[in-house]
Amino acid sequence: MTILANLKLTNSKRHATYDPVLGRREALANRLKEQRELAAAISSGQPFRFTRKIFETNAETGERMQVEKTKRVRPWFWTDKDGTCFFEVRYCNKALDLGKDKKAIEVEAPEKLPEIIDTVTQAVMAGELDKAIDAAIIRRKKS
């Protein structure tokens, strides 16, 4: 008797479990998390430095090493000369259309920005911006 004869064999195949829509939502939620950290640091007067871990090859020894590099995070928010703060949600390097050609959210004060970003993150994870994300992807493919 062979060893495999003791096992239960089937014709079952592995199915892909990756959902691209959920992947897009998570990617945007991660970027919103970075923006929240940036906004919180700026409003509290703290310096902000976002790092990521990457692999680099050492020129002298030729071995691959994991190092931390500083990642530049551009703010998606700004304050106009009247003191009003605005926030736009970006995907594919374009501002998303949040509703009827409106691309920015007006924020009462810069201190309220992390709260607004949390609300937008909840909307992204609920799927409210899926159509806007798809439109941004289509625009990027055309150009």
90 confidence band (pLDDT: 50, 70, 90): very high
Per residue in 1-41, pLDDT (tens digit) is: 578 888 888 888 877 778 889 999 999 999 999 999 999 99
- Is the Cα torsion angle 93, 136, 132, 127 positive or negative in sign? negative
How far apart are the C-alpha atoms of 89 and 103, rounded to whole Å? 8
pLDDT on residue 83: 83
**Whole-prediction pTM:** 0.78
